[in-house]
Chains A and B, each alone.
Chain A
Amino acid sequence: MKNVNLATYAKNTWCPGCGNFAILNSIKAVLGELIEEGLPAENIVIVSGIGCHAKIADYLNVNSFYSLHGRVVPVCEAIKIANPKLKVIGFAGDGDTYGEGLEHLIFAAKRGIDINIIIHNNRVYGLTTGQYTPTSPLGFKGRSTPAGTKELPINPLELMMAGKAGFIARGYSHGIEFLKKIFKEALAHEGFSLVDVLQVCVTFFNMYDYYNKRVYELKDHDPGDYKQAMEKIREWDYNIDSKIPLGVFYKKRPSNDKA
């Protein structure tokens, strides 16, 4: 990592304490390690959507495609098909890819193309200043739902299981080492991978205390077992106040990513 500088001159404008820093620092560390291990830096491409998360394209000094809201996934697929030697990592928000661009995500999972999608899931719209997203809990009071939402959130990981995703994991923006471990495993997976990161928005939906009390790391879990994976994914539905498992839920054998 010492020899690899992945920072740009762009001024960071995330709020102090934003969960995005953990994602940025983790991925920087993981990419730095991969480069030191021999991955040519010019073969890395990152893609981002629109939202607070997306500024990561400006902050990482690698090839980048700062896309549109909801449109991270099709861009990642195309880049990988066009040039299979590239390592393609898509960063997207929950409003971005579980909302605006959900169809793309399901189809990419179904196709099994070798891309890595990391969701900055803060369960709120940050850049548009505080509206509910597909994973906000029931009753969420946002600026577009002042009386609280009347709909339950979706469990995106369950949806990814149904969509035949080959690698499904959950991380948390508190504690870099664990996040690094998950990212590294996701990037090493051949085929489509999704990492849902519980990324805390300190300004519009500060969930640090809530998460800190509930999260735990998966132990004695066999990610190759579909049934076990589904059970763990269903333990928390993004609404109830249960324990929240973190780690790699599901990992399929290398998939067919030939376009």
Chain B
Amino acid sequence: MDNLSILIAGRAGDGIDKSSLIIGDILASLGYRVYIYRDYPSVIRGGHTFSIIRCSGDKIAAHKDAVDILLALNQDSIDFHKSRLSDKSIIIYDSNSVKSDKGTGIPVGAIIKETGGLDLMRNSCIIGAMCRAIGVDKDAMENVFRKDMSREIDLNLKVAFRGFSEAKELIKIEKLKQKILPLVTGSEAIGRGLIKGGMKTYIAYPMTPSSGVLHFLAGAAEEFSLKVIHPENEIAVMLMAMGFSYAGERVAVGTSGGGFCLMTEGLSFSGMAELPVVVLLGQRPGPSTGLPTYTGQTELNFALSAGQGEFSRFVAAPGDAEEAYYWSAVSLNMAWKYQIPAIILCDKTLNEGTYSFDEDLAGKIDSRGPLLWDKKSEYKRYQNTKNGISPLAFPSDKGAIVKVNSYEHDEFGVTTEDKDLTVMMQDKRLRKAGYLLEELEQYETVKIYGSKDSPTALLFWGSNKGVCVEAGEKLGLRVVQPIVFSPFPLKQFKEALRGVKKIICVENNATGQLADFVKCYGINADERILKYDGRPFSLDELEQKLQVSLQG
């Protein structure tokens, strides 16, 4: 057995999240590549919540509907997930609170009572039983408990050992001989990428699915000397970011679509004043409040067009933890080099998904700083240059007067309504995108996976990477992933699709925003496989849909 899918379920507040992480870490410690999918309602207590932990010898980033192991702490956990089970599935349940005609019953409630444990430790008991059932040895389990738990470690272990001894070994999971990788959430990968890109300040108003980044960075603030600020609303978030940027500090902000609506006047300001900022845009199913705790790829159009007026911007949509790390750092560098806003598109699937993270796979990050004032010539904040990039100076730089302006302005930064100056400055700002596009030729802005010569292409973007790459490889498709959308690397994109006869576009939205986007460039997606129920594609589901499409 070198590939497992484990589902653990219970009520919101039962500690399912923490348990899934412990299970993931146990599997990771055996050399496996892990992916964890979390499904929870927008409530704090009660409601059905579950996680699917999947592991494989190869890198994966998708969950399956079918599960090999079901861990049930309440009756719903069995009743709601019956359709996921096969004859071979292993069910481990709390025989004190759950009725099941199959599987291994563990008297979890009684064990808790006997050992003097807490109700929350029922998870530890069932994890103990699971470890025995899949042939994980006790020491491996204990190591992870000791690493992951911050409180009552010994009591938790006592409960887990009891669960372990109550169960029987049903299968034997092999230990793999490969590098052991740490698990990170997409949020953590983004946060670490921003830090790698030199971010000193992060500003956000809490909003799912981006709050994870705020929480991670607030926790890491001391270690990395970061300022992490949570102000009164998203308008303040964005305008504060402009203030930090003006003062010379690398800054990023995070939000979801609703908060981004409030940020757009500041985004446009960033375009006009040429103050760099990175915006983390966590999409979710909309419109309006939509499904706050579920997933969707609904804001590609919004990211590309948000803000009044016309200005250059950088937009990237990473697909997994390594790409999230890499492109977060690159976004900061691009924002500062070209003095433009940069938007990172993400969503719940990416942010709250847990991945095995391999920094070596992420790619090398260039850390050259932006163009600075030479401290000799008269300083002009908006000096008109060949590539449109003006040297930067900051307040408190002796000899420079730094004037930024939301109005059209001259090179010094003083307001103008002169027609020739207006054209000159607009051209200067827009010209930067052309140079950025040229630089992007050195980056892997469009990726290809699977059968690279196949005449049938599966086109996707963002967090669908895991499921699309795995399904596409299995079905022998050419799998194409554009990562940068603005400025759009059309040359690389066309190259990736050269010789393709049929394009199937897979997206988590109701209209096919990527398919519409590439249509503007004369590229027609023959089919659109769209899912907009707030859930990501599962591997089995996408495979089946692709097969229908391939036969048609």
Which residues of A come within 8 Å of B, CB atoms?
8-10, 40, 42-43, 45, 50, 55, 57-58, 61-68, 71, 74-79, 81-83, 85-86, 103-104, 107, 259
In the complex, B266 has a CB within 8 A of chain A: yes
Name A10's closest neighbour in chain B (CB-CB).
B414
Main secondary structure of the interface of A (DSSP, over half): mixed
Q: Within the complex, what minimum Cβ distance (angstroms) separates B399 from chain A?
A: 7
Q: Which of A57, A71, A82 contacts B405 (CB 8 A)?
A: A57
Across the interface, do A75 and B242 meet the contact criterion of CB distance under 8 Å?
yes
Across the interface, do A86 and B243 meet the contact criterion of CB distance under 8 Å?
no
In the complex, B76 has a CB within 8 A of chain A: no
Mind listing 17 A-B residue pairs with CB under 8 Å?
A10-B414, A42-B399, A43-B395, A61-B401, A63-B395, A65-B404, A66-B415, A74-B236, A78-B239, A78-B247, A82-B243, A82-B244, A83-B394, A86-B395, A103-B233, A104-B235, A259-B229
Q: Within the complex, what minimum Cβ distance (angstroms) separates A116 from chain B?
A: 15
Q: Which residues of B contact A10 (CB under 8 A)?
A: 414-415
Name B394's closest neighbour in chain A (CB-CB).
A83
Q: Which residues of A contact B401 (CB under 8 A)?
A: 42, 61-63
Q: Which residues of B contact A82 (CB under 8 A)?
A: 201, 243-244, 247-249
Q: Which residues of B contact A78 (CB under 8 A)?
A: 239-244, 246-247
Q: Within the complex, what minimum Cβ distance (angstroms) separates A28 from chain B?
A: 15
In the complex, B396 has a CB within 8 A of chain A: yes
Across the interface, do B414 and A9 meet the contact criterion of CB distance under 8 Å?
yes
Q: 6 other contacts beyond A43-B395, A66-B403, A104-B236, with CB at 8 A cut-off? A: A42-B398, A65-B403, A66-B406, A74-B236, A81-B227, A86-B395
Name B243's closest neighbour in chain A (CB-CB).
A78
Do A83 and B414 contact each other (CB < 8 Å), given the known contacts A65-B246, A259-B227? no
Across the interface, do A40 and B242 meet the contact criterion of CB distance under 8 Å?
no
Do A71 and B396 contact each other (CB < 8 Å), given the known contacts A63-B403, A78-B243, A79-B247? no
Do A86 and B232 contact each other (CB < 8 Å), given the known contacts A62-B401, A66-B407, A68-B239? no
Q: Which residues of A contact B398 (CB under 8 A)?
A: 40, 42
Q: Which residues of A contact B39 (CB under 8 A)?
A: none
Q: Which residues of A contact B231 (CB under 8 A)?
A: 74, 77, 107
Name B249's closest neighbour in chain A (CB-CB).
A82
Across the interface, do B249 and A68 meet the contact criterion of CB distance under 8 Å?
no
In the complex, B448 has a CB within 8 A of chain A: no
Q: Which residues of B contact A43 (CB under 8 A)?
A: 395-396
Across the interface, do B232 and A104 meet the contact criterion of CB distance under 8 Å?
yes
Q: Which residues of A contact B394 (CB under 8 A)?
A: 83
CA distance A57 to B415 in the complex (A): 9
Across the interface, do A74 and B235 meet the contact criterion of CB distance under 8 Å?
yes
> What does the 1/0 interface line of B373-415 toward A look like (CB < 8 Å)?
0000000000000000000001111111111111101000111
Task: Please report which residues of chain B, range 193-236, place their CB below 8 angstroms from some CB of chain A when the two chains form the complex.
Answer: 201, 227, 229, 231-233, 235-236
In the complex, B265 has a CB within 8 A of chain A: yes
Q: Within the complex, what minimum Cβ distance (angstroms) separates B381 from chain A?
A: 10
CA distance A75 to B415 in the complex (A): 19
Across the interface, do A42 and B395 meet the contact criterion of CB distance under 8 Å?
yes
Q: Which residues of B contact A76 (CB under 8 A)?
A: 243
Q: Which of B232, B244, B266, B403 contacts A68 (CB 8 A)?
A: B266
Across the interface, do A77 and B395 meet the contact criterion of CB distance under 8 Å?
no
Q: Which residues of A contact B236 (CB under 8 A)?
A: 74, 103-104, 107
Across the interface, do B403 and A83 meet the contact criterion of CB distance under 8 Å?
no
Q: Within the complex, what minimum Cβ distance (angstroms) separates A62 from chain B?
A: 6
Q: Which of B243, B269, B399 contacts A77 (CB 8 A)?
A: B243
Q: Which residues of A contact B395 (CB under 8 A)?
A: 42-43, 45, 63, 79, 83, 86
Across the interface, do B247 and A67 meet the contact criterion of CB distance under 8 Å?
no
CA distance A76 to B227 in the complex (A): 16
CA distance A181 to B478 in the complex (A): 74
Q: Which residues of A contact B227 (CB under 8 A)?
A: 81, 259
CA distance A40 to B398 in the complex (A): 8
Across the interface, do B248 and A66 meet the contact criterion of CB distance under 8 Å?
no
Q: Within the complex, what minimum Cβ distance (angstroms) separates B376 from chain A?
A: 16
Across the interface, do A86 and B415 meet the contact criterion of CB distance under 8 Å?
no
Give the residue among A50, A77, A78, A107 with the most B Cβ atoms within 10 A. A78
Q: Which residues of B contact A65 (CB under 8 A)?
A: 242-243, 246, 403-404
Do A75 and B403 contact each other (CB < 8 Å), given the known contacts A42-B397, A82-B247? no
Across the interface, do A74 and B413 meet the contact criterion of CB distance under 8 Å?
no
